[in-house]
């Protein structure tokens, strides 16, 4: 069965999206050894592309840049959360928050290349102005089958003796904003339908039916896996019931055959005995009828014994099948429990992070401001990470650039460090040689001004100039 084209776009959850798409070490640890839907052995076939035009591969940094751009273009802060307002008729209307970064999941073929998907992203940018930031091709996801695949399934293959059904797809992360107006791009249902047709044309796939026709809702990755596993459990139960019905019918048939055999043999034996009695005892022994009767009885006993053994064998097979299906059901239930446990751990971890964020919000706010200042001064990303995240002092020997004063300052063996403000405990300050950076810049500017003033007051002759 050929895979049909499909694309589903939703607001991008930056933290979880990057962890999933990049297959970070922490993300793979959270999945655990159960490997619910990701097979690490196949991850080498994955591909990725990061748009170099935006200067940063980090979605969080790009998101913050968009917020600043919206503020500059519109004069208002970007509305990130859903809010409510009262309409003209008095009814409460829910207004969705702005989703400046959105992510599309696109079904692909096994031989689809990164170039093919980039071509699709470029065409989306040309038509609707949505700019692809990141593209990830995932060819290591899918789900495990219980037993062999169906005859028409040409995609499933074996890994370590188990059958695996792959789910080839791509993630495209879009910048959904108009950077000239500071407003979000507006795409309607017709645009989305055209986008799906575009995907089928570029990726050479059969176009999938629209949701308006099928009535099916898109399922997220984990929900889709759970649905598949539930369907597999249902199929196992139906197979089990069918096998039980077959065994029951076989037992009934054997009982009927056994009864028929016993009846036919007894009738035949009775006829032979009556004939023997009629012809006399001497004639019976002389003609060998008694011997034939004994052989017939022995044959009857052997036939009944063979049928009984067949019934016992069927019962043993039925018991083995029940045990096998029981193990499969327990394994699937174990996978469900592991998945739910992993979700609970992730929710707990995010809750802990949120609690810490609320407690340290003033410091976080100051750290964001310090990060911007560090980039303005001219620090590299590695230097900023050392200062803000590792909380390590860095040594610098050379020149730094100040956007504020448009000057380069010579520094020698200076040590930069993030420290708590002695005046306000909720604020952080960037220091150079234990001196706040703002005060240091003021001193440097004053030295520069004095140098310029002294230069202007010197006679031209003393400066090596001809009068």
Report yes or no on 243 lying in a domain: yes
In a shared domain, residues 347 and 418: no
In a shared domain, residues 314 and 394: no
Report yes or no on 395 lying in a domain: yes
Contact 96, 89 (CB under 8 A): no
Report yes or no on 223 lying in a domain: no
In a shared domain, residues 15 and 161: yes
- Which residue range forms the structural domain that includes residue 10? 4-218
In a shared domain, residues 411 and 427: yes
In a shared domain, residues 350 and 394: no
Report yes or no on 296 lying in a domain: yes
In a shared domain, residues 329 and 213: no
Q: What is the pTM of this model?
A: 0.47
Report yes or no on 225 lying in a domain: no
In a shared domain, residues 318 and 212: no
Per residue in 302-359, pLDDT (tens digit) is 777 777 777 777 778 778 877 877 787 888 777 778 878 888 888 878 777 766 665 6
Domain count, the chain: 3
- State the residue for tokens 């039925």: 318
Report yes or no on 331 lying in a domain: yes
In a shared domain, residues 156 and 64: yes
In a shared domain, residues 339 and 388: no
Q: What pLDDT is stored for residue 91 in this prediction?
A: 79
Report yes or no on 224 lying in a domain: no
End residue of a domain, out of 330, 356, 382? 356
End residue of a domain, out of 218, 248, 280? 218
Per residue in 216-266, pLDDT (tens digit) is 554 555 555 566 666 666 666 666 666 666 666 666 766 676 666 666 666
CATH number reported for the structural domain that contains residue 106 in this entry = 3.30.930.30
In a shared domain, residues 55 and 172: yes
The rounded distance, in Å, linking the Cα atoms of 2 and 329 is: 30
In a shared domain, residues 103 and 16: yes
The rounded distance, in Å, linking the Cα atoms of 106 and 429 is: 46
Residues of the chain with pLDDT under 70: 1-3, 32-36, 83, 95-96, 207-251, 253-255, 257-294, 297, 354-366, 401-407, 458-467
End residue of a domain, out of 316, 339, 356? 356
In a shared domain, residues 165 and 299: no
């Amino acid at each position: 069965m050929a895979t049909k084209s499909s694309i589903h776009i939703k607001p991008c959850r930056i933290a979880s999206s990057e962890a999933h798409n990049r297959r970070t070490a922490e993300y793979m640890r959270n999945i655990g050894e159960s490997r619910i839907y990701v097979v690490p052995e196949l991850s080498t076939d994955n591909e990725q592309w990061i748009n170099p035009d935006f200067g940063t591969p980090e979605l969080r940094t790009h998101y913050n840049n968009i917020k600043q751009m919206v503020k500059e273009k519109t004069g208002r802060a970007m509305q990130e959360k859903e809010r409510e307002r009262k309409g003209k008729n008095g009814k409460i209307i829910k207004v969705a928050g702005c989703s400046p970064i959105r992510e599309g999941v696109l079904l692909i073929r096994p031989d689809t290349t990164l170039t093919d998907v980039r071509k699709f992203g470029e065409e989306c940018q040309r038509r609707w102005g949505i700019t692809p930031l990141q593209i990830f091709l995932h060819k290591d996801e899918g789900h495990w089958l219980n037993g062999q695949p169906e005859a028409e399934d040409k995609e499933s293959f074996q890994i370590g003796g188990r059958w695996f059904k792959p789910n080839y797809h791509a993630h495209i992360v879009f910048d959904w904003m108009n950077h000239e107006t500071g407003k979000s791009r507006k795409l309607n249902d017709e645009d989305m339908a055209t986008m799906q047709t575009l995907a089928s044309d570029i990726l050479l796939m059969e176009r999938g039916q629209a949701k308006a026709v099928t009535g099916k809702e898109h399922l997220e990755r984990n929900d889709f896996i759970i649905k598949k596993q539930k369907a597999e459990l249902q199929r196992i139960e139906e197979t089990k019931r069918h096998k039980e019905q077959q065994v029951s019918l076989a037992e009934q048939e054997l009982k009927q055959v056994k009864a028929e055999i016993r009846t036919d043999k007894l009738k035949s034996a009775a006829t032979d005995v009556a004939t023997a009695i009629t012809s006399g005892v001497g004639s019976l022994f002389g003609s060998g009828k008694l011997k034939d009767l004994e052989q017939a009885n022995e044959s009857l006993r052997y036939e009944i014994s063979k049928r009984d053994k067949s019934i016992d064998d069927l019962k043993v097979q039925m018991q083995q099948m029940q045990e096998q299906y029981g193990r499969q059901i327990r394994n699937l239930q174990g996978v469900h429990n592991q998945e739910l446990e992993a979700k609970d751990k992730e929710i707990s971890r995010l809750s802990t992070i949120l609690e810490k964020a609320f407690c340290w919000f003033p410091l976080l706010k100051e750290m964001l401001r310090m990060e911007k200042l560090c980039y303005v001064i001219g620090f590299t990303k590695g230097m900023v990470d050392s200062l803000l995240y590792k909380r390590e002092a860095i040594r610098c020997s050379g020149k730094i650039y100040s956007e504020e004063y448009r000057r380069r300052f010579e520094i020698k063996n200076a040590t930069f460090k993030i420290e708590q403000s002695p005046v306000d405990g909720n604020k952080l300050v960037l220091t150079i040689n234990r001196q706040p950076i703002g005060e240091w810049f003021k001193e440097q500017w004053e030295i520069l001004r004095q140098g310029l003033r002294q230069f202007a007051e010197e006679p031209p002759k003393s400066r090596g100039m001809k009068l």
